[in-house]
Structure 1
Amino acid sequence: MIYTVTVATGHQLFSGTDDYIFLTLVGSEGCSERTLLDKPLYDDLERNAVDSYSVNVLNDIGEIMFMRLEKCKYLSQDEWYCRYVTIKPPTGESKVFPCYRWITDDMEIEIRDGKARLPLDDHNEVAKQHRYRELQRRQKIFRWKEWQPGFPHSIDANVSTDLPRDVQFDMTKVVDFAYNYSKVIGNLYLNKFMDMFQTSWSDFSDIEQIFVGISNTISEYLMQHWQEDFMFGYQFLNGTNPVIFEKCNRLPAKFPVTNEMVETSLERKLTLEEEIKEGNIYLADYKILDGVPANATDPSTVQYLSAPICLLYNNSMKKLVPIAIQLKQEPGPENPIFLPTDTKYDWLLAKMWVKSSDYQIHQAVTHLLRTHLISEVFGIAMYRQLPAVHPLFKLLVPHVRFTIAINTKAREELICDCGLFDKINSSGGGGHVYLVQHAMKDLTYQSFCFPEAIKMRGVESRESLPYYHYRDDALKVWDAVLGFVTDVVNIYYIDDEAVQTDNELQAFMEDVFIHGLRADNSSGFPESVTTIQRLTEYLTMIIFTASCQHAAVNFGQYDWCSWIPNTPPTMRCPPPSEKGTVNMQYIMESLPDRGRSCWHLGAVWALSQYQDNELYLGMYPDEYFIEQPVKEAMEKFRTNLQEITRLIAERNKDMELPYYYACPDRIPNSVAV
C-alpha cells in the first residue's frame, strides 16, 4: 500500500536540514517500516519547502495513531523545524499531523494527528501510552526552579541556550532584541553624554538634547505639558501603570489631609468629606515601597526611595488631578503634606517623587511579576501537563510564545546582579526583588480577572471616569477573549463532569497553583476546576494577561517614561522634609545623572518596540486546530477584534493623546518583549 506523505519545513532562518529524516507510521494494528524521506538529486527539506514522498507499507497497520520522525546526522549536525506532515492513505482522506517543533541532534519525536482529544476521548491503549510518554519527556526538560525566594517558580535554565529548543527565540527575534537597544543609543546621540556620566543636567531644556534623534507625538506632548496637574492625573488613567489608583472611601489615618488644606482645589462647593461620599476622591498609595532598600550598587552615587501617598480629585470636568501628596507613610512634622497651593518647585518635586515611585512599582510588580513571571508559570505548566493533542494545549500555546525565553533573557541581563535594573533604577540592587516578594503576598486570582479587578478598585463607572480608556478598551478585549474561549471549550467539554474528569487539566492547574502561587490558599487561585464556566474564566485570564494586560503596561514605556523629569527612574537626593526649601538646582541634583538617563532611555525604547515577526491577538498561523468548528470560532474572534479596533480608531482620531495600548491590532499574542 502506497501512502503519500507531505512534509512542510518552517520559514525561520536555518529551519531546513541536510540530515537524514526517517518516518514510521504507527497504527492500531502495527507499524510501517522505518522509511528514509529523501529525494535523490534534489534539495528537499529546505526552508519554506513542502515536499511529498511515497511510502510503501507492506502490511495493514489499521488506523494511524501517530507518526514517528527521526533525524540522523549526515555530514554535520543541524536542526530542522517541521511545521506539519500530511498522510494520505491509499483510500480515504488525508490526515494532518501538526508539529511546529524543532528536531535537533539525533532526535526522535512522535506526533498525533491534528484532531484535539481530551484524555477520555482516547480509548486505545497505544494512544493513552503516547500521551503518557510525551508528558514524561516534557517533564524531564521543563523543570521548575526557584530563582529568588518567594518568587513564582521559573524554568530551570541559567542562560537562554539551556532552554528546550522549542521555546528559544528564533534567529529573527534574537537579532531584533539586541538591535533595538543599540539603535536607540545611536539615534538619540546618547554616546556623547557617556563621557559626562555622573554629571547632573543643568535644567529641563538641557535634557531635551537627547530627544533630537527620534520623533514621538506623545512624548513630545508630554514634554510640553508634564508639569500641569491634569497631565499628572491623566497618567493614572492611561499611562504605563493604570492600575494603581482606587476610589477613596475613607482617608487613612496615616494621611491626615484636612478640608482646609484642599478646599481651594475642590470645585463643587462640597467639603472633602462630602466629596469622598460622592465618590470624587481617589487614592494612590505606594505603601509597598516602605522599607525597600534603595540602590547602593554604585558607591559614588547615593540613591533614594520613598513611599508616597497621593490624593486625586475627579473635578467638575471629570478629569483626575492631584490635590495632596505626602512623600512618606508616617505623618509628622518632617513629613509635610504638599499641596497645589505650595511654591511651584515644592509641588513639582512632590509630583516627581510620586511618578518615580510609580515607575518602580510598574517595573517590578505591574509589568515583571503580574505579566512576565505569571505568564511563564502558565507556559511551563502547560508544557509539563498538557500533551500536544489536548485542546487546551492547542488553545494556549500561541499565548506563551517566546515568554520563557524573554524571561530567561531578563534573568541573564536585566534583573540579575549588575543587570540593567541595577544600573538605572533606585529599586535596583535588590529592591526590585524585595518588591516582587512582598507583592506576592497580596497576589489574588480576583485581581487577574479584569472585570473583577476594576470593581475591586471602585473604578468601574464610565459616568464617573469617562476618560479611563485603558478600562474601556481592555474590558472589550476581555469580553472578546471570553467569547472565543467559551466557544472553544464548549466544543470539547460537553458538561461539567468532563471538566472534573480531565486529569491533565487538573494537573495543569495544580502545577500553576503550587509553583506559581507557592500553594498560597489566601490568593484565591483555584487548585482545581469543576465547572465549564469556571474553566472558561480561568483560560480567559491566562490569555488576557499574556496579551492585552502585558501590551497595556509595556508598549507605552517610551511614550510616557522617556521624558526623564516626568518619570525619574532614580532620585539622587532625599525627599524634602520641609516646605520652601526646593529650588531648580535641588530638582536637577535629584534627577538621574546624564549616564543613567541615557541608559534608561535606551531601555524604555527597546522594551517598547514591536518585533518584525509579531503575531497579534487573533493571529494563529500555526494550525494546531484542524476542526472546522474551532476555525469558525477563530474567525468570529477575529471579527470581534476588528470591530473593537475600529471603535478605538474612531474614538482616537480626534484626540490629542490617542490611547491605543489595548487596541487589538497592537496587542501581541504573548509576552515576548
Structure 2
Amino acid sequence: MSFENARSIVPQHNLSGEGVKRGAIDPSLPQNDSPEQRAQRREQINATSTVYQWTTDIPTLPGVPLATQVPADDQPSIEWWFKVLEVGIAILENVAAVRLHPIFSGLSQAAKDIISDALTEAEEIKARVEALREKHRVDEAGPGLESSIEQAVAGSDIEALKGHDSALRDIVTVIIDVLKAEEKADTRSIEAYRDLYQTLPTPGIAYTFQDDDQFARLRVAGPNPMLLCGVDRIPDNFPVTAAQYAAVIDGDNLADALADGRVFLCDYKDLEVLVAGVWKGHAKYVYQPMALFAVPPGGSSIKPVAIQCGQDASQYPVMTPSVSSSEKWGWEMAKFVVQVADCNYHELFVHLAGTHLVSEAIAVATRRNLANVHPLWSLLVPHFEGTLFINNLAVETLINKGGPIDDFFGGTIESSQLAAVQARLRFDFYKKMTPVDFAERNVADPAKLPDYAYRDDALLVWSAIHDWAEQYINIYYADDDAVTGDSELALWAASIASEGHIVGFKPITSRAQLVDVCTMIIFTASAQHAAVNFPQRTVMTFAPAVTGAGWTAAPTEQTGHNKAEWIDYMPPMSLGLLQLSSLELLGSVYYRPLGDYCTNRFPYESWFQDPAIIGDEGPLARFQAGLRAVESRIVARNQHRMHPYVYLQPSQIPTSTNI
C-alpha cells in the first residue's frame, strides 16, 4: 500500500477504558491524537495495568514472567468450554471402559471403590455440562441481537464460566484419581497398550512406530520438528565411522554426504538439566542421546543412520539399524531412548517454553503498554485469547508436584520445571523466526532435504501471516518515521525485552521490522503452537511410540537383548493410560481457526470494526483468501505425500494458544 493511503488523520474515537471487547472502530497512533486523547490513552493503560501485572514468583516456573492473575477478559468463551468438556467426558468414558479390561483385573476393592466413586462424579459433571449447553442453546435461539439481550447473555456467560472452570478441574481430578487407584495392573505388552483405547480411536502410529522410516519421519513431521540440524562434520563425541555409514546408506559414503549437506543430527545434550526421578519406588530414567540421519543420494527422505544413547562415547557405543536377531532389540531400545528424549525436549523446550510462555509474556506487555485504540492492540489481542487462562491451568494441574508431568516424565518435577524455565529464558525472538530458524539449523534448502513437511507448510502459513501484517500495518503507519514516533510501541518493545525477558527483542525502527515482529507473534501463538500441540493426540498418546521416561538404564551395547528387555523400558500401564488421557485432552480441542476474528463472548461478533480493515477488498478479506489458498496447496501436497501432514492446514490452526 502506498504511503498516501496510510491513515494519519486525528481520529474521533471513544476511549472508554475498561470493558472493551472488540477492536477499535477508529484505531490510531498516539502521535496522531490530540493532547486530550493522549491523556485518555494513558489513563486507560494505567487502569488496565492494575489488572494485568507481572510476577516471576510462580513456584512451578520460578523466574519466568507471567501474569499474576487471569482477568475476566481472558476467561474462555462458553463454546470453548463445551469443546473441552466434551473431550474430557469422552476420555472418562474411555477410562471407564479400560478399567473393566483384564489388564486391570488385579485392582484391590479399595481401588475399585475409588474408581466407582470417581466415575459417578464424572456422570454428574456430564449432566451439569449438558444442562449448561441446553441453556446456551436457548440463549442462542432467542432475539439476542438487541443491546439489552446481549448484555444479559454476556452476564450469564461470565457467571456460567465459574461452573465450567470447576467442571474442567473436576474432570482432571477424576482422571488422576482413577489412574492413581491402579495398584497392580502392570502386565506390559504392545497389545495391552493398544487396549488402552477402548472407546477412543487407536492412532495409526500404534501399528507403525517400530518402522525405521516412521522413526525418521517424526524428526520432520512429528511433534518436535525443531531440533534436526544439518551438519558438515560428525561431532567428536559421536564417532560414527565411514564403514558404519556405508553399511546403512547403500551406495553412499560419509564424506560425500557431509560435503553435499545431506547429513543431519538430533543432539539432546540440553537435557542434561534433568535429574532422574522416582515413581512409587520405581526408578525412572532420562537420557541425552545423539541420533544421526541422512538423505541417500537421489533420495528425498531422511533415513536413520546411527544412535548413541548418551553423550559419552566411552560409555555408549554407536548403534546402527539392524534386523539380525542379536542386534535388532538393541536398536529398538536405542530408538526408544531417542523418543523419550524427544518427548522431554518437545514438551518442555518446544511446546511449553517456546509457545505458551513466550505468548504470555507478549500478551501481558501488550495489555500494559498499548491503548485499546492502538492498531496493534486490535491486531494482536485475538491471538492471546485463552492463553493466560490455559497457562494458569497448566501450572496448577499439569506441571505441578503430583501432576501428570511429575508422574510420566523421567525427571524430578523440579528439574523438569527448571528445563522449561531455562528454555523460555533463552528463547531468542529473532533467531526463532521461522525462515531464520531453518537457516540457523541448516535445513532451509529443499534440494538437500526435500521431504520436510513442517518446513514447507510452515513457510506457506508464515508468508500468509506476513502479507496480512504488512497490509494491516501499512494502513496505520505512513512510513518508518511513524514507527519511531510511536511512543506506545517503544514502551511495548522495551517491556517485552525487559519485563518479559524475551532475548533479542529490540527497539523497532521500521515498518518492515514491525511486520516481521507481528508475523512472529501471530505465527507463534497460532501456527507454531498448532504444529507442536496437535501431534500430542495423533502421535504421543501411545506410550510405546513416545513417552516421557525410560524405566531402565540406557543400553551400553547393541547385542544380546530381547523383546522382553525392550518392553521393560516402557511405562507401567497406569501411567500409559494417564499419558493417553492427558495428551488426548490437550491434542483434541480445535477452537476458532486462524483468520476467524470474533469476540470471545456470545453472540461472538466480528472483532475488527475499522472499515479500512473489514471491507470486501480490505486486508482481512485478503488474509482469509490467502489462508484458503494455503489450505488448498497443503491439501494438494498431501495427496502426493506418502504420509499426509495436516497440522499446518489453516483450518486446523486455532487463532490463539488456547489449549
Return the TM-score normalized by structure 1. Answer: 0.79
1:170 lines up with 2:77 in the alignment: yes
Q: SS at 1:616's partner residue? A: coil
Query: 1:49-60 alignment to 2 at 5 Å?
Result: none
* Aligned-residue offset at 1:655: 4.5
Query: 1:606-621 alignment to 2 at 5 Å?
Result: 606-611=585-590, 614-621=591-598
Rounded Cα–Cα distance in structure 2 between residues aligned with 1:69 and 1:287: 49
* Matched residue, 2:570: 591
Q: SS at 1:211's partner residue? A: coil
Rounded Cα–Cα distance in structure 2 between residues aligned with 1:69 and 1:442: 35
Rounded Cα–Cα distance in structure 1 between residues aligned with 2:355 and 2:367: 18
More helix by share: 2
- On the 8 A contact 2:490/2:508 being kept in 1, the answer is yes
1:155 lines up with 2:70 in the alignment: no
- On the 8 A contact 2:264/2:294 being kept in 1, the answer is yes
* Matched residue, 2:32: 121
* Aligned-residue offset at 1:198: 5.3
- On the 8 A contact 1:292/1:305 being kept in 2, the answer is yes
* Matched residue, 2:505: 525
Q: 210, 223, 226: which one pairs with 1:227? A: 210
- On the 8 A contact 2:536/2:586 being kept in 1, the answer is yes
- On the 8 A contact 1:197/1:594 being kept in 2, the answer is no
* Matched residue, 1:243: 226
Rounded Cα–Cα distance in structure 2 between residues aligned with 1:488 and 1:481: 10
Query: What's the RMSD between the two structures over aligned residues?
Result: 2.2
Rounded Cα–Cα distance in structure 2 between residues aligned with 1:198 and 1:328: 32
Bigger mean CA offset, 339-348 vs 531-540 = 339-348
Rounded Cα–Cα distance in structure 2 between residues aligned with 1:624 and 1:211: 40
Q: 100, 107, 112: which one pairs with 2:21? A: 100
* Aligned-residue offset at 1:656: 4.9
Bigger mean CA offset, 183-192 vs 235-244 = 183-192
Residue 615 of structure 1 aligns with an amino acid whose one-letter code is R
* Aligned-residue offset at 1:380: 0.5
* Aligned-residue offset at 1:204: 1.4
- On the 8 A contact 2:296/2:302 being kept in 1, the answer is yes
Q: SS at 2:21's partner residue? A: strand
* Matched residue, 1:74: none
1:366 lines up with 2:350 in the alignment: yes
* Matched residue, 2:631: 645
**Structure 1: unaligned runs, 5 residues or longer:** 1-62, 71-81, 83-98, 102-111, 158-162
Rounded Cα–Cα distance in structure 2 between residues aligned with 1:68 and 1:285: 52
Rounded Cα–Cα distance in structure 1 between residues aligned with 2:184 and 2:345: 25
Rounded Cα–Cα distance in structure 2 between residues aligned with 1:139 and 1:69: 11
Q: 66, 71, 83: which one pairs with 2:14? A: 66
Rounded Cα–Cα distance in structure 1 between residues aligned with 2:28 and 2:379: 12
Rounded Cα–Cα distance in structure 2 between residues aligned with 1:239 and 1:115: 43
Bigger mean CA offset, 233-242 vs 259-268 = 259-268
1:301 lines up with 2:282 in the alignment: yes
Query: 1:517-596 alignment to 2 at 5 Å?
Result: 517=501, 523-526=503-506, 528-596=507-575
* Matched residue, 1:53: none
Rounded Cα–Cα distance in structure 1 between residues aligned with 2:13 and 2:257: 68
Could you report, residue by residue, the CA deviation over 1:59-91 in whole angstroms, capped at 9, with x for unpaired residues? xxxx97637699xxxxxxxxxxx7xxxxxxxxx
Matched residue pairs, number?
Answer: 555
Residue 620 of structure 1 aligns with an amino acid whose one-letter code is Y
Rounded Cα–Cα distance in structure 1 between residues aligned with 2:259 and 2:184: 49
Rounded Cα–Cα distance in structure 2 between residues aligned with 1:624 and 1:516: 26
**Structure 2: unaligned runs, 5 residues or longer:** 1-10, 105-178, 600-605
- On the 8 A contact 1:150/1:440 being kept in 2, the answer is no
* Aligned-residue offset at 1:508: 0.9
Q: SS at 1:354's partner residue? A: helix
1:394 lines up with 2:378 in the alignment: yes
Q: SS at 1:430's partner residue? A: helix
* Matched residue, 1:139: 49
* Aligned-residue offset at 1:346: 0.2
- On the 8 A contact 1:371/1:549 being kept in 2, the answer is yes
Could you report, residue by residue, the CA deviation over 1:123-161 in whole angstroms, capped at 9, with x for unpaired residues? 141x2221111111111111101125664300013xxxx
* Aligned-residue offset at 1:428: 4.7
* Aligned-residue offset at 1:178: 4.4
Q: SS at 2:656's partner residue? A: coil
- On the 8 A contact 2:17/2:44 being kept in 1, the answer is no
Residue 471 of structure 2 aligns with an amino acid whose one-letter code is D
Q: 171, 181, 186: which one pairs with 2:88? A: 181
Q: SS at 1:251's partner residue? A: coil
Q: 594, 600, 609: which one pairs with 1:626? A: 609
1:278 lines up with 2:260 in the alignment: yes
Q: SS at 1:477's partner residue? A: helix
* Matched residue, 1:289: 271
Return the TM-score normalized by structure 2. Answer: 0.80
* Aligned-residue offset at 1:366: 0.4
Residue 28 of structure 2 aligns with an amino acid whose one-letter code is R
* Aligned-residue offset at 1:569: 2.3
* Aligned-residue offset at 1:202: 3.5
Could you report, residue by residue, the CA deviation over 1:6-64 in whole angstroms, capped at 9, with x for unpaired residues? xxxxxxxxxxxxxxxxxxxxxxxxxxxxxxxxxxxxxxxxxxxxxxxxxxxxxxxxx97
Rounded Cα–Cα distance in structure 1 between residues aligned with 2:363 and 2:15: 25
Bigger mean CA offset, 361-370 vs 314-323 = 314-323
Query: 1:429-468 alignment to 2 at 5 Å?
Result: 429-440=413-424, 442-468=426-452
Rounded Cα–Cα distance in structure 1 between residues aligned with 2:80 and 2:373: 27
User: Which is higher, the Rg of structure 1 or of structure 2?
Assistant: 1
* Aligned-residue offset at 1:181: 3.2
Q: SS at 1:446's partner residue? A: coil
Q: 1:362 to 1:68 in 2, by over 3 A?
A: closer
Residue 165 of structure 1 aligns with an amino acid whose one-letter code is A
Q: SS at 1:426's partner residue? A: coil
Using CA pairs under 8 Å that are at least 6 residues apart, name the structure with larger relative contact order, 1 or 2: 2
Could you report, residue by residue, the CA deviation over 1:190-232 in whole angstroms, capped at 9, with x for unpaired residues? 334456545434321222211242235xx22x22221111110
1:260 lines up with 2:246 in the alignment: no
* Matched residue, 1:34: none
Q: 1:581 to 1:200 in 2, by over 3 A?
A: farther
Q: 1:198 to 1:537 in 2, by over 3 A?
A: farther
- On the 8 A contact 1:225/1:231 being kept in 2, the answer is yes
- On the 8 A contact 2:289/2:309 being kept in 1, the answer is yes
Bigger mean CA offset, 300-309 vs 618-627 = 618-627
- On the 8 A contact 1:308/1:329 being kept in 2, the answer is yes
- On the 8 A contact 2:84/2:589 being kept in 1, the answer is no
* Matched residue, 1:336: 317
More strand by share: 1
Q: SS at 2:499's partner residue? A: helix
Q: 1:69 to 1:343 in 2, by over 3 A?
A: closer
- On the 8 A contact 2:288/2:309 being kept in 1, the answer is yes
* Matched residue, 2:147: none
Rounded Cα–Cα distance in structure 2 between residues aligned with 1:433 and 1:67: 41
Q: 1:201 to 1:277 in 2, by over 3 A?
A: farther
Rounded Cα–Cα distance in structure 2 between residues aligned with 1:141 and 1:210: 44
* Aligned-residue offset at 1:530: 0.8
* Matched residue, 2:480: 496
- On the 8 A contact 1:201/1:588 being kept in 2, the answer is no
1:191 lines up with 2:191 in the alignment: no
Q: 1:259 to 1:484 in 2, by over 3 A?
A: same
- On the 8 A contact 1:288/1:438 being kept in 2, the answer is no
Rounded Cα–Cα distance in structure 2 between residues aligned with 1:447 and 1:186: 44
- On the 8 A contact 1:116/1:625 being kept in 2, the answer is no
- On the 8 A contact 1:197/1:593 being kept in 2, the answer is no
- On the 8 A contact 1:152/1:515 being kept in 2, the answer is no
